[in-house]
Amino acid sequence: MIDRAQRHDRVLFAAGAVLTVFVILYTSLFIASHLTRSSEHHNATYSGDFTRIEVSVSGTATVTGTSTSSVHADWDLSWSLFRPRIETDIDGSTLRLSVSCSNTPGRDCASSVALSVPIRAAVSVSAAGGVQATDVQGGLKARTRDGQLDLRDVKGAVDLGTRGGAINAEGLGGSELHARSRDGSMKLVFSAPHEASKSLHATDERPWHSLRSEMDTPSRSTGAAAASTSRSPPTRSRLGPSRCKAAMPT
């Protein structure tokens, strides 16, 4: 009986020792990850006849359409203990770029990128921070968590979504636009009146929302087709207790 009790005590002691070592090691890595931080600027050029570019970062993303056929990327990386890896995947005419962190307690890392892409390529961007896109004519899909979406002269099918930021777009043109925001306002300006007569769907997930859509002609005269609210009860059509939808006339 005494031997059994002693064995039980030894097992508990060993388990406690292992747990203590684990806690000390984890705490040390956690402290080190907050005391030591490194950063790096890295640029790369990806050659190929790409018609679609997909990129995913934890920070901000800037995309600019150019007359070149290659893709150029300027990366800004920062990390605590373990340097993040830039992942590249080429599948035919599709280029996928992403950044991965080490699966350890010190995996805290951040990444931002500025991309120069073929002007007629389709682009898909996923970022925790803001997204800026200029002169993208092959269509754009952009998703952010907390950042703002800023677009200028983007053509083709456009699909925008943000949880905590505003959507500001000028010079839009193309067959279809979907814009979705939970906490931010939207301003959508088209390059010509006929562009706005195609397909526009703007959805917000808040009870009160500020949405403005404009048709901006080359002469800078503006015709309005808008739904807007302030902090008073909305006058738009309601799709539920916290959703609204505004569509341009066809």
Q: What is the pLDDT of residue 220?
A: 41
Summarised one tens digit per residue, pLDDT across range 42-76 is 999 999 999 999 999 999 999 999 999 999 999 99
Positive or negative: CA dihedral 112, 212, 191, 217: negative
Percent of the chain with pLDDT over 70: 60
Spatial contact of 111 and 99, defined as CB atoms under 8 Å apart: yes
- CA–centroid distance for 199 within its chain: 23
Higher-pLDDT residue of 150, 18: 150
Per mean pLDDT, which range of 36-40, 91-95, 151-155, 240-244 is the poorest? 240-244
Spatial contact of 206 and 183, defined as CB atoms under 8 Å apart: yes
* Cα separations in angstroms, 150 against 14, 22, 79, 126, 139: 58, 46, 27, 14, 15
Spatial contact of 154 and 136, defined as CB atoms under 8 Å apart: yes
Is the domain spanning 41-247 CATH 3.40.1000? The answer is: no
Tell whether the model's pLDDT for residue 17 goes beyond 70. Answer: no
Higher-pLDDT residue of 113, 227: 113
Q: What is the pLDDT of residue 36?
A: 66
Q: Please state, in angstroms and rounded to a whole number, the distance separating the CA atoms of residues 80 and 28.
A: 13
Tell whether the model's pLDDT for residue 246 goes beyond 80. Answer: no
Higher-pLDDT residue of 3, 225: 3
Q: What is the pLDDT of residue 117?
A: 98
